[in-house]
Amino acid sequence: MERETALNKVKPHLTEHRYQHTLGVVETAILLAERYGADQKKAELAAIFHDYAKFRDKQEMRDLIQSTLKEKDVLGYGDELLHAPCGAYYVKEEVGISDEDVLNAIRYHTTGKPDMTLLEKVVFLADYIEPGRQFKGVAEVRELSEKDLDEAIIKSLENTITFLMKRRQPVYPDTLNTYNQLIKTKRGLNK
């Protein structure tokens, strides 16, 4: 699917602010894909559609997860996690994208997962560091992303987990598991 066609399909589902965020994620994903050797077209497509379900009705998404999707455990961790697995489903069913690499990059862009593929890592990180994001710690993650993709993801996860813990919110297990797996790999403990 060509970029303009994809953007035209996603734009009606987003606010103007979220559409601008999406454009930033697209450019960042392409840059990271080029830097680290991921498929740039798949990175672009996954980035365009990563927030496709962001503004869907929350109950509709809960019902979809409960009835159809395998990610039932996200239901106990806040509404912010619903749009990623639901988005992958809607993109497949409504847009007709069936490439599992692209769909998984959408599915895991919020929580991460252990043993993420390169494409999944690129979209996950692009969503975190796109130029419109302004919060404590993002500049450090951007700098790390220029040298080491995994170190940048580790730092982004550390920031997210700390943010959630300070607010006494639950941390999704796969987010912790992603952090642990990357740390163990960096230390050579996953052999």
pLDDT tens, 41-99?
999 999 999 999 999 999 999 999 999 999 999 999 999 999 999 999 999 999 999 99
Give tens-digit pLDDT for 1-23: 899 999 999 999 999 999 999 99
68 three-class SS: coil
Is residue 145 a part of any domain in this protein?
Answer: no
Is residue 74 a part of any domain in this protein?
Answer: yes
Is residue 11 a part of any domain in this protein?
Answer: yes
Give tens-digit pLDDT for 105-138: 999 999 999 999 999 999 999 999 999 999 999 9
What lies within 8 Å, CB to CB, of 167 at 6+ separation is none
Domain that holds residue 88: 3-133
Is residue 171 a part of any domain in this protein?
Answer: no
Q: How far apart are CA 90 and CA 14, in angstroms?
A: 14
Taking alpha carbons only, the member of 24, 29, 32 closest to residue 148 is 32
Give tens-digit pLDDT for 144-156: 999 999 999 999 9
Is residue 97 a part of any domain in this protein?
Answer: yes
Per-residue model confidence (pLDDT) at position 89: 98
| Number of domains forming the structure of the chain | 1
Instruction: Locate 88 and state its tokens.
Output: 């992958």
Locate the DSSP E strands across 28-149: none
What CATH number is given to the structural domain containing 110? 1.10.3210.10
Is residue 149 a part of any domain in this protein?
Answer: no
19 three-class SS: helix
Is residue 76 a part of any domain in this protein?
Answer: yes
Give tens-digit pLDDT for 150-180: 999 999 999 999 999 999 999 999 999 999 9
Instruction: Locate 47 and state its tokens.
Output: 């980035």
pLDDT at 186 over 90: no
Q: What is the pTM of this model?
A: 0.96
Is residue 115 a part of any domain in this protein?
Answer: yes
